Homo-oligomer: A and B are copies of this chain.
Amino acid sequence: MNKYYLEKADINTPKLYETEVSSDTVVDIVPDETAFFGVKIANARKNAEVFAPGDTFILDFGQHCVGTLSFRMRHDDRYLDAPVKVKLRFGETAYEIARDFTSYHGGLCASWLQEDILSIDFPEIVTLPRRYCFRYLEVTVISSPRPVRLTDFAVRCLTSADYSKLTPLPEGTDPVLAEIDRVAAKTLADCMQTAYEDGPKRDRRLWTGDLRLQALTDCYLFKNDRLARRCLYLFAACEEDGKYLPGCLYQKPAVFFDDGMGITDYAMLWCSALCDYCEYTGDTDTVRDLYPVAQRQMNLACSLIDENGVLGFLDGWFSFIDWAPAIERRIPCEGVVLYTMEKMAALAAMLGDDTHAKAWSDKLTDTRKKAYERFFDADRNAFYNADIDTPQYSVQSQAWMILGGVIDGTAGVSVLRDCLTSPASLKPVTPYMHHYVVEAMVKLGMMEEAMSYIKSYWGSMIENGADTFWEAYDPKNPDLSPYSDPIMNSFCHAWSCSPSYFIRKYFI
């Protein structure tokens, strides 16, 4: 790993702000057929203080929290002359608490489900060593020699977001947009730790694709340039010869990444994030420091576009785009490359690198033309890959071809509208991909539709109970999960925070 970049990442580690959120409110979680996940909270009341073995209660902290939990354990009338065992289950949603974790049937490791059993040796203030991510906490006294007092439940919430830097929305802002902005800001803040994490419950990791949307949105919210800088440097430190940047990395115990996790579109979006960073901060020292990495990433992508304008892939996992099932990724991924190439050509020009500015501009013009010829199907009024991969009509392909500049103007509007309204097309399922649909609309000047789209998609998530925006959301399908079981889903996911970017840039 590149030590210079690692050191730069290290010295840009941001401060974490702490706030305490306490709760002595307990609730019941009861079935409700009209609720999105089939349950609702009810009977909010002040908690009891004394509990016997077998007793259980669900605390509601009233908001999404990311941090360490503490509580006070005391004896009641007689000293606790043996350890006390307490089981804790944490849920971002009431649904997770309603589910028995042993019924989990998903693909990712069950250890992500937030459950721990504590053995407490003597009366004390108990502070758990792990960080949890939750609004609801189910506490069960498993064993105790005598009645036990459990009180003063509090979370030391952690974030590197400085709320004092958040500009209030103007008076008179549409209240739906204002609420979406509030939830989006909270989503981003809770993902802002010593890196922009994808989700503080799971994976707690820095992903390039998420980083790009987080850093972009943060320019309009908490403006933590230091954090953006750190994350850009972290990935730069992980560059390997002839490979795309890793899609994600781990910070502990030391910076680490897995081989073979290079993801074409994500590597491109790291370059886009660098271009955003330059645009919003003007910090050209950092940009010049990192520009050689972006150069190599862009050149690598360019070198993989063949003489017919078709993007090739390196061995290994190649592209993400969206969690929509069985999605074909070649067309949208090529769109991501072209989208980034345009930004990189502009950055090169700004930095005085005329050679690359020209090379990338030329390549962009040439590839856009060839891609249009190769993929645009006039009969279908869509980008449609008839003879490479499995042919597929998808919103993802149309949106990224628009963002890649392969089509624009009224033709682009027509392509996008048709695909969004067609029952036959594959639709996005992640707020991440929905972001790029909105971005495509904005690029095409479809401002009213972009705003409606945000209000409809993110707004309905709030109506369905979101305290923070979710990793995956299909308003018609509560069972949607990239991991086969929605309790594994992250319900505070950074890539869902971008409505604040659109709202604050375009809609106020």
Chain A residues in contact with chain B, CB under 8 A? 78-79, 81-85, 108-112, 116-117, 119, 121-124, 129-131, 142-145, 202-205, 250, 252-253, 256-258
Shortest Cβ gap from A262 to chain B (Å): 15
Q: Is the CB of A250 within 8 A of B122?
A: yes
Sample of 6 A–B contacts (CB below 8 Å) = A81-B250, A81-B258, A82-B112, A110-B143, A111-B142, A111-B145
List the B residue with the shortest CB-CB distance to A108.
B82
Knowing A117-B117, A119-B130, A129-B129 are in contact, say whether A253-B124 is a contact too (CB < 8 A). Answer: yes
A83 CB contacts on chain B under 8 angstroms: 109, 111-112
Assembly CA distance A82 to B204 (angstroms): 9
Contact of A122 among B122, B253, B257 (CB under 8 A): B253
Assembly CA distance A111 to B117 (angstroms): 12
Given contacts A79-B256, A81-B250, A129-B129, 17 further A-B contacts (CB under 8 A): A79-B258, A81-B203, A81-B258, A82-B109, A82-B111, A82-B202, A82-B203, A83-B109, A83-B112, A85-B111, A109-B143, A109-B144, A111-B142, A116-B119, A117-B117, A119-B130, A122-B253
A256 CB contacts on chain B under 8 angstroms: 79
A121 CB contacts on chain B under 8 angstroms: 130-131, 204, 252
Assembly CA distance A66 to B203 (angstroms): 37
Assembly CA distance A116 to B118 (angstroms): 8
Knowing A79-B258, A116-B119, A130-B121 are in contact, say whether A111-B252 is a contact too (CB < 8 A). Answer: no
Shortest Cβ gap from A243 to chain B (Å): 17
List the B residue with the shortest CB-CB distance to A116.
B119
Q: Is the CB of B117 within 8 A of A250?
A: no
Assembly CA distance A263 to B494 (angstroms): 63
A203 CB contacts on chain B under 8 angstroms: 81-82
Knowing A203-B81, A258-B78 are in contact, say whether A145-B253 is a contact too (CB < 8 A). Answer: no
Q: Is the CB of A79 within 8 A of B250?
A: yes
A258 CB contacts on chain B under 8 angstroms: 78-79, 81
A111 CB contacts on chain B under 8 angstroms: 82-85, 119, 142-145
A82 CB contacts on chain B under 8 angstroms: 108-109, 111-112, 202-203
List the B residue with the shortest CB-CB distance to A204.
B121
List the B residue with the shortest CB-CB distance to A256.
B79
A78 CB contacts on chain B under 8 angstroms: 258
A202 CB contacts on chain B under 8 angstroms: 82
List the B residue with the shortest CB-CB distance to A145.
B109
A122 CB contacts on chain B under 8 angstroms: 250, 252-253
A204 CB contacts on chain B under 8 angstroms: 121
Assembly CA distance A121 to B250 (angstroms): 11
Assembly CA distance A200 to B39 (angstroms): 47
Contact of A116 among B109, B117, B130 (CB under 8 A): B117
List the B residue with the shortest CB-CB distance to A110.
B143
Assembly CA distance A264 to B216 (angstroms): 75
A129 CB contacts on chain B under 8 angstroms: 129
Residue in A111, A142, A257 whose Cβ sees the most chain B Cβ within 10 Å? A111
